[in-house]
Amino acid sequence: MRNRTVGINIRVTVTEKKKVTMLAKKCGLSLSEYLRQRALGYEPGGHPPKEAFYVLDKLDEIAENCSVRDGVAINAQTDRMRDLLIGGN
C-alpha cells in the first residue's frame, strides 16, 4: 500500500463539493480517491447497477437448461459481458 503522507487542500463551493462527492459515490470511490484519479488524468467509471448482474445470473440459469453446446456458448457470452461491466478486457 502506498504511504500517502502529503495533503493538498483546495477550496470549493458547497455546490461543487456536493457534485464532486456525488460523482465519486457514483464511481464507488472515496472523495479523495476520485480527486486523486482525476488529477492524475484517469477517468474513473461508474459502477453498473446490481440488476445488470442479476440478469446475467438468470441467463446462466437458463444456460443450464440448454444443450451442453448452447449452454457453453451462453456462459461464454455472459462471462464476457461481466468482464465488460467490471472493466476487464
Tens of pLDDT along 38-87? 999 988 877 777 888 888 888 988 888 999 999 899 989 988 888 877 66
Highest mean pLDDT of the ranges 18-22, 23-27, 75-79: 18-22
Both 2 and 43 in one domain: the answer is yes
Distance CA 71, CA 74 (A): 5
Angstrom CA distances, 55 to 7, 28, 43, 65, 76, stand at 42, 21, 27, 16, 15
Both 33 and 64 in one domain: the answer is no
Both 34 and 73 in one domain: the answer is no
Both 43 and 62 in one domain: the answer is no
Number of domains in the chain: 2
Both 39 and 64 in one domain: the answer is no
Q: Which domain holds residue 74?
A: 50-85
Average pLDDT of 1-25?
A: 89
Both 43 and 1 in one domain: the answer is yes
